[in-house]
Chains A and B, each alone.
Chain A
């Protein structure tokens, strides 16, 4: 999978490394900004009320 991505990136090794880094950061950003805030309320840490509203 990662090998396939690497082979399909343009440029020489340095350009590829740079693009990979940007891609990784983009994925982490999407996770922190959108995916985790969605998933976190599914965990039990939010249940602090007694009437569960």
Chain B
């Protein structure tokens, strides 16, 4: 009898310890790992860019650039870096192709079926609100007029947010349509959509922001205005 009671209580303590360890893993360790991996992805991109092996030379004639189709992004690989000054001056994350669970552990994920950076249509990106480095933790702070800056190694793209965090349900795929229904846009253009989860630790809803392409400039012209202090 005593042996049984002792074994059961030991098991309970063990399970409790494992649960505490799991919480440590989710809250802390995924962040440590993700910061490491995201840093690697950015280094990898900058390496690629400095070697000049950018996939395709792109016409840099402002928002009216020629509508040629650039090479498709490679699934699971980084292709751009995103900067959002509102989320912190040093906030920058790699953007990878695809929204698979493993891809989102390494950075932000580009919905593969949406358009490419700077092109006509809706360039849509998903990111973690919590865990894995908390990239979109301060998502609700985004406001109309905030800049979302991206670079693909040849061009800086500055998007301006038009509609602040919009809450919707997880099945609302219309938010990443070329002309999202609830966004207030009425005709086709060069748009950007960011999605993350809401509430912070839940998954019952999604938060969305929409932005339009405000300006582009070649990297040789230096950082865009939005990133200068």
Interface residue ranges, A against B (CB under 8 Å): 1-3, 28, 31-32, 36, 39-41, 43-53
Q: Which 3 pairs across A and B sit closest by C-beta, in order of nearness? A: A44-B203, A47-B203, A36-B25
CB pair A48–B21 under 8 Å, yes or no, is no
Hey, what's the 0/1 contact readout for B159-189 against A, CB within 8 Å counting as 1?
0000000001011110110000000000000
Q: CB distance A48 to B196 under 8 Å?
A: yes
Q: Interface majority SS on A: helix, strand, loop or mixed?
A: helix
Asked whether B197 lies within 8 Å of A53 as measured between CB atoms, the reply is no
Q: Are A50 and B21 interface neighbours, CB within 8 A?
A: no
> Of residues B100, B175, B197, B208, which shows the largest number of chain A Cβ atoms within 10 Å of its Cβ?
B197
Apart from A1-B11, A32-B21, A49-B99, what are 12 other A-B pairs with CB-CB below 8 Å?
A3-B6, A28-B21, A31-B22, A36-B22, A40-B26, A40-B131, A44-B201, A44-B203, A45-B128, A45-B201, A46-B101, A48-B197
Residues of chain B lying within 8 A (CB to CB) of residue A1: 6-7, 10-11
Check A46 against B201 for contact (C-beta < 8 Å): no
Q: Which of the residues B6, B21, B202 comes within 8 Å of A44, measured between beta carbons?
A: B202
Inter-chain CA distance A44–B201, complex, in Å, is 7
**Any A CB within 8 A of the CB of B104:** yes
Q: Contacts A36-B22, A40-B30 given; indicate if A48 touches B127 (C-beta within 8 A).
A: yes
Q: A47 — nearest CB in chain B belongs to which residue?
A: B203
Contact partner of A49 (CB less than 8 A), chosen from B25, B30, B126, is B126
**Contact in complex: A45, B131 (CB < 8 Å):** yes
Query: In the complex, A47 Cα to B172 Cα: how many Å?
Result: 13
Note all chain A residues with C-beta closer than 8 A to B93: none
Task: Check B111 for interface membership: any CB of A closer than 8 A.
Answer: yes
Q: How far, in Å, is B191 (CB) from chain A's closest CB?
A: 15
Judging by beta carbons under 8 Å apart, are B104 and A46 in contact?
yes
- Asked whether, in the complex, the Cβ of A47 is within 8 Å of the Cβ of B170, the reply is yes
Q: Are B10 and A49 in contact (CB under 8 A)?
A: no
CA distance A20 to B175 in the complex (A): 54
Q: Which residues of B contact A46 (CB under 8 A)?
A: 101, 104, 128, 131, 203
Alpha-carbon distance A25/B201, docked complex (angstroms)? 29
B197 touches A47 (CB 8 A): yes
* Contact A50/B131 with A3-B6, A31-B18 known, Cβ cut-off 8 Å: no
Q: A1-B11, A44-B202 are in contact. Are A51 and B111 (CB under 8 A)?
A: yes
Nearest-neighbour CB distance to chain B for A28, whole angstroms, equals: 7
From known contacts A3-B6, A51-B173, infer whether A45 and B195 are also in contact, taking CB-CB under 8 Å.
no
